């Protein structure tokens, strides 16, 4: 085939989010039933290229008929989070108000403690990471008539599209509930992202709630019907002039997060013309026609620009066509196009005439174009039939047309075997059609992946840069420890922002060098980013970097050295890994007095704070600990932080003054007199206005 420039294959099977909830008897393990989620609240805070997500879940054993005494029931939630997510906290409620904040321990120690406590009838929870995306939470005991409340907090990469930002919601977890549950969303979004909305049609809207500091957050409720199919949060793009740069200084370590839209800096990006071909047939687990049309529309809105052009073709007894000419892909035009349709798709496939209609139309109007074909047909699920049609199709193409194919058929019974591979439904035909025309192929086995599949197809309509490099450097210093967030390799799509997180030495301004090879020609572009254009990140960027660092180590072949490195970073930075666990115990010293329960926000509370105003890492510590104080919205020039021993004696005092950003302190374990404080438990108290917040600090003896 002429001008075959790049061939990409993308398999979505296995990327769908899996979840399962059960309540079982730990003494009679064969007695297990599906559990119920009574309440679910998700808090979301945009943090640059990531969002901090906090999922509150209240479990019950409603409907469980065995073990009516309720003294040995255990809740087990197995769930998935998107690739790249970094879990950094877990809470367990004791009663209605007391919160236990988890300690992070090595996995073996945590498991031993948890299993021992289960036998002693105390109240623990434990959270494991089993793979890059799979997790398990266990809570004991579950009273047959009562409930248990937990919270899981993680940092999740935001999907940056051409003109928007998208955050997937963990609705697969809610679908594990035996009884339906609503999801309440509380969203804090800064000016760069703007107000949140949904990327799918839903009757739910966000209401704006003001807090006492003059700020605001957004609140919305999703019913099970609304999130039955995949639904995502959508924001504006944080990029300005083609880039976003955030930075945070943490003592000797400095971190940055950077996103760049390659098409803004690479000369000669051409705008695309795409004929969208939709073919559909009813079948087991098939999405509805309305869902297919909605997902296609959303993907086009997210990935096409007004300078692009489109047309729509539909499989029916007579092939349907939206327009006789290319239509500018303005958002209003795309919305109007789909709104004007009346039963465009039949419930039976007419794949071959549909493809012929698309090819012939593009060649008749001239100037070339791409074809995006989505089908769940099984008509050509044999080697001979697929090869015959493929040969005929390629023979009719006399211009430069690339096929981008999406196969959303879920059949596992219609298949054939060839060249050492099993091909299901029309996967062979659609795969080879993309390969032979230099296009892109997506296969999805799960309805909930349909949105991501459409997005992947449309985002890859943009041309690919064969070689790409983005190297930022700070003045009087340099950047290091760079990690790509999302994507992989050097093949970069001009339409998708390239996202990077790293460390740096030096100061603003930043010098950004972007180079690569495009259409066989090397190119170089340089940009200076002044201090005024650098966004202030908070300390969570540290967890972002260490989370990505740990994920990189986990993806490599495990060795004693790599496991020890993962353990050290996971324990010291409080980021969950495959070799650690978050453990909550019913111990007075583990109670968290400053943990803010966002589910209790009424609009009159102090909402500026994140989960914990006070955090300390490492804690317990041997020689020194770093104390982080997040802003509360309270202004007090006499604010201070004091450390006391258990006899109430003042050990150390830090004058804070009035502060609006995050405050970082370091306690070297010494007293006011400069001598080393004895190992043991200490209490840190933040005095600010008429409020006090408390954190417990544990100083350990040297081994």
Q: With contact defined as beta carbons under 8 Å apart, do 234 and 197 qualify?
A: yes
Q: With contact defined as beta carbons under 8 Å apart, do 187 and 169 qualify?
A: no
Domain endpoint, select from 462, 492, 522:
462
Per-residue pLDDT tens over the stretch 286-342: 888 988 998 899 889 888 888 889 999 999 999 999 999 999 999 899 999 998 888
67 pLDDT band (50/70/90 cuts)?
low
Q: Are residues 200 and 334 in the same domain?
A: no
Distance CA 312, CA 331 (A): 15
Q: Are residues 436 and 296 in the same domain?
A: yes
Q: Are residues 231 and 374 in the same domain?
A: no
DSSP secondary structure string, 443-459? E---GGGHHHHHHHHHH
pLDDT of res. 2: 35
Omega before residue 575 within 30° of 0, cis: no
* Least confident span in 196-205, 233-242, 603-612: 603-612
- Statement: residue 447 has pLDDT above 50: no
pLDDT of res. 268: 62
pLDDT of res. 8: 34
Distance CA 271, CA 264 (A): 13
* Least confident span in 68-82, 457-471, 516-530, 638-652: 457-471
Cα-only R_g, the chain: 27
Total of domains in the chain = 4
Domain endpoint, select from 462, 477, 511:
462
Q: Are residues 184 and 129 in the same domain?
A: yes
Q: Are residues 82 and 204 in the same domain?
A: yes
pLDDT of res. 7: 32
Query: What CATH number corresponds to the domain at position 399?
Result: 3.40.50.410
37 pLDDT band (50/70/90 cuts)?
very high
Q: Is residue 438 assigned to a domain?
A: yes
pLDDT of res. 615: 82
- Statement: residue 603 has pLDDT above 60: no
Q: Is residue 584 assigned to a domain?
A: no
Q: What is the share, in percent, of the chain residues with pLDDT greater than 70?
A: 90
Domain endpoint, select from 538, 558, 577:
538
Q: Are residues 296 and 422 in the same domain?
A: yes
Q: List Cα–Cα distances, 590 to 93, 99, 124, 594, in angstroms.
A: 11, 8, 11, 12
Helix (H, G, I), strand (E, B) or coil at 571: helix
State mean pLDDT over 364-385: 88
- Statement: residue 520 has pLDDT above 50: yes
User: Following CA atoms 460, 465, 468, 474 in sequence, which dihedral angle do they give, to the nearest 10 degrees?
Assistant: -80
* Residue 317: DSSP 8-state: S
14 pLDDT band (50/70/90 cuts)?
very low
pLDDT of res. 638: 85
State mean pLDDT over 480-504: 82
- Statement: residue 119 has pLDDT above 80: no
* Least confident span in 160-164, 217-221, 343-347, 440-444: 160-164
Q: Which residue range is the domain that position 471 belongs to?
A: 243-266+466-538
Distance CA 627, CA 642 (A): 12
* Residue 71: DSSP 8-state: S
Distant-in-sequence, close-in-space partners of 465: CB < 8 Å, separation ≥ 6: 262, 266, 490, 491, 492, 493, 494, 516, 517, 518
- Statement: residue 370 has pLDDT above 50: yes
User: Following CA atoms 654, 655, 660, 663 in sequence, which dihedral angle do they give, to the nearest 10 degrees?
Assistant: -20
Distance CA 693, CA 492 (A): 47
Q: Is residue 495 assigned to a domain?
A: yes
Q: Is residue 595 assigned to a domain?
A: no
* Least confident span in 146-150, 344-348, 378-382, 611-615: 611-615
Of 488, 568, 613, 560, which Cα lies nearest the Cα of 104? 568
State mean pLDDT over 599-628: 66
Query: What CATH number corresponds to the domain at position 248?
Result: 2.60.40
Q: Is residue 293 assigned to a domain?
A: yes
Output 320 or 489, whichever has higher pLDDT.
320
pLDDT of res. 398: 80
How many CA atoms, within 13 angstroms, populate the side-chain half-sphere of residue 366? 0
703 pLDDT band (50/70/90 cuts)?
low
227 pLDDT band (50/70/90 cuts)?
confident
Burial class (CB in 10 A: 0-12, 13-18, 19+), 638: exposed
Q: Are residues 73 and 141 in the same domain?
A: yes
State mean pLDDT over 469-484: 92
State mean pLDDT over 192-197: 92
pLDDT of res. 517: 82
- Statement: residue 608 has pLDDT above 50: no
pLDDT of res. 150: 95
Q: Are residues 434 and 511 in the same domain?
A: no
- Statement: residue 78 has pLDDT above 80: yes
- Statement: residue 519 has pLDDT above 80: no
Q: Is residue 15 assigned to a domain?
A: no
- Statement: residue 462 has pLDDT above 80: no
pLDDT of res. 193: 93
Of 129, 251, 150, which Cα lies nearest the Cα of 567? 129
Q: Are residues 46 and 161 in the same domain?
A: yes
* Least confident span in 319-328, 418-427, 461-470, 634-643: 461-470
Q: Are residues 502 and 629 in the same domain?
A: no
Q: Is residue 107 assigned to a domain?
A: yes
pLDDT of res. 460: 76
Per-residue pLDDT tens over the stretch 134-149: 999 999 888 777 889 9
Number of Cβ within a 10 Å radius of residue 447: 19
Q: What is the share, in percent, of the chain residues with pLDDT greater than 90?
A: 45
* Least confident span in 99-108, 240-249, 465-474: 465-474
pLDDT of res. 271: 79
pTM over 0.85: no
Q: Are residues 258 and 278 in the same domain?
A: no
Distance CA 40, CA 561 (A): 40
Q: Is residue 425 assigned to a domain?
A: yes
Q: Are residues 103 and 201 in the same domain?
A: yes
pLDDT of res. 439: 84
């Amino acid at each position: 085939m002429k001008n075959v420039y790049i061939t990409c294959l993308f398999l979505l099977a296995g990327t769908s989010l899996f979840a399962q909830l059960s309540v079982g008897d730990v003494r009679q393990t064969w007695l297990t039933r599906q559990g119920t989620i009574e309440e679910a609240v998700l808090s979301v805070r945009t943090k640059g290229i990531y969002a901090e997500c906090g999922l509150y879940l209240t479990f019950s054993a409603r409907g469980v008929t065995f073990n009516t005494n309720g003294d040995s029931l255990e809740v087990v939630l197995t769930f998935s989070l998107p690739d790249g997510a970094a879990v950094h906290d877990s809470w367990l409620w004791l009663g209605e108000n007391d919160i236990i904040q988890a300690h992070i321990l090595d996995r073996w120690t945590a498991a031993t403690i948890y299993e021992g406590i289960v036998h002693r009838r105390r109240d623990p929870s434990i959270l494991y990471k089993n793979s890059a995306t799979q997790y398990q939470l266990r809570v004991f005991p579950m009273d047959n008539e009562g409930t248990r409340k937990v919270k899981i907090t993680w940092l999740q990469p935001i999907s940056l599209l051409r003109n928007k930002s998208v955050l997937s919601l963990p609705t697969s977890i809610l679908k594990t509930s035996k009884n339906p549950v609503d999801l309440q969303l509380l969203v804090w979004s800064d000016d760069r992202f703007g107000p949140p909305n949904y990327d799918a049609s839903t009757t739910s809207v966000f209401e704006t709630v003001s807090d006492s500091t003059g700020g605001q957050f957004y609140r919305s409720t999703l019913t099970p019907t609304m999130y039955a199919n995949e639904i995502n949060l959508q924001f504006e793009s944080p990029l300005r002039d083609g880039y976003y740069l955030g930075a945070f200084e943490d003592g000797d370590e400095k971190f940055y997060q950077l996103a760049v839209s390659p098409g803004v800096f690479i000369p000669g990006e051409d705008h695309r013309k795409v004929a969208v071909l939709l073919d559909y047939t009813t079948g087991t687990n098939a999405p509805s026609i309305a869902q297919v049309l909605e997902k296609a529309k959303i993907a086009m809105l997210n990935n096409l620009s007004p300078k692009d052009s489109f047309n729509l073709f539909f499989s029916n007894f007579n092939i349907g066509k939206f327009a006789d000419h290319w239509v500018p892909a303005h958002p209003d035009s795309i919305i109007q196009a789909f709104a004007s349709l009346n039963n465009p798709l039949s419930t039976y496939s007419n794949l071959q005439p549909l493809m012929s209609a698309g090819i012939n139309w593009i060649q008749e109007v001239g100037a070339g174009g791409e074809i995006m074909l989505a089908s769940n047909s099984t008509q050509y699920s044999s080697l001979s039939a697929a090869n015959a049609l493929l040969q005929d199709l390629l023979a009719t193409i006399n211009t430069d047309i690339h096929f981008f194919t999406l196969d959303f058929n879920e059949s596992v019974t219609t298949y054939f075997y060839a060249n050492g591979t099993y091909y299901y439904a029309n996967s062979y035909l659609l795969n080879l059609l993309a390969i032979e025309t230099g296009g892109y192929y997506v296969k999805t086995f799960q309805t909930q992946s349909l949105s991501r599949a459409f997005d992947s197809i449309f985002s890859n309509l943009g041309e690919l840069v064969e070689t790409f490099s983005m190297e930022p450097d700070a003045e009087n210093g340099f950047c290091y420890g760079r990690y790509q967030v999302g994507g992989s390799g050097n093949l970069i799509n001009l339409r998708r922002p390239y996202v990077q997180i790293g460390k740096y030495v030096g100061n603003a301004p930043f010098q950004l060098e972007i180079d690569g090879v495009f259409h066989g020609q090397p190119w170089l572009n340089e940009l200076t980013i002044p201090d005024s254009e650098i966004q202030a990140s908070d300390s969570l960027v540290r967890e972002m970097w260490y989370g990505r660092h740990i994920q990189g180590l986990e993806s490599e072949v495990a060795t004693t050295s790599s496991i020890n490195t993962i353990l050290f970073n996971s324990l010291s930075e409080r980021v969950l890994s495959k070799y650690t666990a978050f453990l909550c115990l019913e111990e007075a010293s583990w109670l968290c007095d400053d943990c803010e329960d966002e589910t209790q926000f009424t609009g009159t509370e102090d909402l500026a704070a994140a989960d914990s105003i006070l955090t300390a890492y490492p804690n317990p510590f041997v020689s020194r600990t770093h104390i982080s104080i997040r802003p509360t919205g309270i202004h007090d020039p006499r604010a201070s932080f004091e450390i006391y021993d258990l006899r109430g004696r003042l050990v150390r005092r830090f004058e804070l003054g009035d502060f609006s950003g995050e405050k970082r302190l370091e306690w070297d374990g010494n007293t006011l007199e400069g001598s080393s404080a004895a190992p043991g438990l200490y209490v840190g108290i933040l005095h600010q206005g008429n409020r006090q917040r408390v954190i417990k600090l544990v100083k350990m003896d040297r081994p």
